[in-house]
């Protein structure tokens, strides 16, 4: 997957890899990096994400955008370490406001 800047409105905008945008943060022109295209998930793929642990779900979602940036189980290890210390099972619980 390739990324481009929100401020690069030229006829052939420069594209960047996931690794480049992860390390850069913002584009050189001050714009935000966005994917050229969004990944498409089938209904079955979406249903397969339901009920999975937060860290596992995060790894699956990031993998859609990271491509081959992370080797093997590296992404799962990173998301497990990032979210493993959260005390609530939902990690980011939502509360309905009326």
Looking at residue 10, its pLDDT comes to 85
In a domain, 21, yes or no: yes
Domain count, the chain: 2
User: In this structure, how many other beta carbons lie within 10 angstroms of the beta carbon of residue 85?
Assistant: 7
Tokens (6 digits) for 95:
């509360």
User: Looking at residues 58-77, what average pLDDT do you find?
Assistant: 93
Residue 86 has pLDDT above 90, yes or no: no
In a domain, 67, yes or no: yes
Domain, as residue range, for 43: 39-85
34 and 46 together in one domain = no
pTM, entire model: 0.81
- 83 Cβ neighbours under 8 A, 6+ residues apart: 54, 55, 58, 91
CB of 78 closer than 8 Å to CB of 70: yes
């Amino acid at each position: 997957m390739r990324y481009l800047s929100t401020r690069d409105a030229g006829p052939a905008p420069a594209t960047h890899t996931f690794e480049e945008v992860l390390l850069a943060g913002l584009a050189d022109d001050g714009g935000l990096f966005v994917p050229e295209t969004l990944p498409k998930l089938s209904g079955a793929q979406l249903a397969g994400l339901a009920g999975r642990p937060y860290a596992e779900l995060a790894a699956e979602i990031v993998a859609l955008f990271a491509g081959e940036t992370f080797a093997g189980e590296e992404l799962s290890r990173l998301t497990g370490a990032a979210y493993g210390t959260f005390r609530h099972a939902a990690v980011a619980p939502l509360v309905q406001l009326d």
